[in-house]
A and B are shown apart, each in its own frame.
Chain A
Amino acid sequence: MFEGVPLQWFLITGTIMFFVGIYGFLVRKNLITILMSTELILNSVNINFVAFNKILYPTHLEGMFFAVFIIAVAAAEASVAIAIIINIYRRLINIDVEKMNEMKY
């Protein structure tokens, strides 16, 4: 399906996704959006794994499995994060990250 597409394109896509994720993580105020940004970062890594595996070592599957693992871990992490966010919401009636500055000096 992706025959003939050069490796660089995948990597460029991954890099763009990664930095979009970083940007979102740093500037968005809504916790849900921040969580989504982390998912973007993880998935950019997944793209790299799969692309490297597919193009450099077509006979192996390690990259694929890594991607699967990361997806699983990300799912678990997302559920935990959402649980935390719900708890924060119950307490503060708010999920603005700038309001959550209790843990300081």
Chain B
Amino acid sequence: MNGLFSEVFLSALLFGAVTAAVPLLLAGLGEQMSEKAGVLNIGIEGMMLAGAYLGFVGAFYSESLWLGFLTGAAGGAAVAALMALLCVRLGLNQIVIGIALTLGLEGLTALLHHFQFSRSYPRLPAADPTVIPLLADIPVIGPAFFRHHLLVYLAVLLVVVMSYLYRRTQLGLNLQAAGDKPAALDVAGIDVIRTRTIAVLTTGALAGLGGAYLANVGAGLFIPFITNGAGFLGIVLAMLARGRPVWVLFGALLFGACLSLTTAMQVAGINIPTDVIQMLPFLAVMIMLVLFGRQASLPAALGIPYERGAR
């Protein structure tokens, strides 16, 4: 049992927690924006997969991690564009299309991966961490939190940016109005369709970025179904966070910690099925819901397509 509490082990555990949390954070922040604007984005798992695949492909061929992140975000946004066209512009059922996009991208990325990489299974070189001076030298905490890839810090910074965006800018007001009372936004002279489209595209880009991080930094390679439900976890986080970006961060860290613990226990050879630990965050959330589960304050127009002057 000594191994569990050694400094090295603990910082590795925390390091892993952060690494596992980043894709969830990005997906959750993305989903949150869609939901705020009134679009329930069930296709986010597909967007993450598109991001993971294209992000890997981009990084692999360009040999630049950052170009990989860019292609990943673009891939997620491309899938989101399809969703925006179908669900926001044409007003098709968001759940049906979301499920279709998730299934389709699961299949498509697995298919493309098979024809491209299944013989070689190439890996990317380990990502260079950005070491934060001074802080990185603190025992345990330093290696756990301050020796990550730059994108990790940017993702955390994004929480602040999002909070500012929602609370202090015109766009934040527009997004909230699009979700709570789209007709009011429309008569105020702002295009509801455009506002929601921006939200969905942002969601796609963030989810794609999350997927790219997962493949390029977390795993160093792409494998089919690599997201393994991370997008759905993002939906859960966004719904539980009720519009507050910082809660997405806390939630992502909680889930990330449990994921990391699972891996750590496998490494340490401890004889508890990892599934028990994987259950913990869901169990905690469900218990919280049962105990405090009052009317979840979701946007009033969530899931309802907007049609101007509908009678």
Whether both chains belong to one complex is answered with no
A→B interface (CB under 8 Å): none
